[in-house]
């Protein structure tokens, strides 16, 4: 990718990664493995700090039941989104994800402070 030189700057001090992809494109399914490897495993971030969003284009079959991702992607939280359905579910999942990241940051900070004190 021509933006690869920017990746270290993007990754610096990041606390979470959201990977959005089109589940109907086989090439995307291969690419998300690379994104996961670079942005999650190599940082390293926990799997709970990563959210996968399978975005279905309007009018697509949107087969949300049969999307089976291979290991290690199958360990990640996966949500399906499309612009035709009520977006409330997706919004709630995003809020849950952001809350979990904030909790993680706060707990990390507390651990750091405790280690400085002790």
Q: Is residue 17 part of a domain?
A: yes
Token readout for 102 is 């904030």
**Domain extent for 79:** 11-117
What pLDDT, in 10s, does the model give residues 94-105?
999 999 999 999
Q: Does position 25 have pLDDT exceeding 70, yes or no?
A: yes
Stated pTM of the model = 0.84
Q: Is residue 5 part of a domain?
A: no
Q: Is residue 102 part of a domain?
A: yes
Token readout for 37 is 């490897």
Q: Does position 7 have pLDDT exceeding 70, yes or no?
A: yes
Question: What is the structure's pLDDT at 75?
Answer: 93
Return the higher-pLDDT residue of 60 and 41.
Answer: 41
* Number of domains the chain is built from: 1
Token readout for 1 is 């990718």
Rounded CA separation 69/77 (Å): 11
Q: Is residue 6 part of a domain?
A: no
Q: Is residue 3 part of a domain?
A: no
Q: Please, which residues bridge with residue 54 across strands?
A: 21, 80
Question: What is the structure's pLDDT at 118?
Answer: 76
Q: Is residue 64 part of a domain?
A: yes
Q: Is residue 1 part of a domain?
A: no
CB atoms within 10 A of CB 91: 11
What pLDDT, in 10s, does the model give residues 49-95?
999 999 988 777 655 566 888 899 999 999 998 877 778 889 999 99
């Amino acid at each position: 990718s021509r933006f690869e030189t920017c990746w270290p700057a993007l990754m610096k001090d990041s606390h979470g990664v959201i990977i959005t992809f089109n589940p109907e494109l086989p090439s995307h399914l291969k690419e998300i493995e690379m994104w996961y490897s670079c942005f999650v495993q190599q940082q390293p971030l926990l799997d709970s700090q990563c959210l996968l969003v399978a975005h279905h284009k309007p009018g697509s079959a949107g087969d949300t039941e049969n999307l089976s991702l291979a290991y290690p992607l199958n360990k990640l939280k996966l949500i399906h989104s499309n612009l035709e359905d009520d977006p409330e579910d997706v919004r709630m999942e995003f809020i849950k994800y952001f809350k979990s990241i904030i909790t993680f940051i706060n707990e990390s900070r507390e651990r750091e402070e405790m280690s400085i004190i002790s």
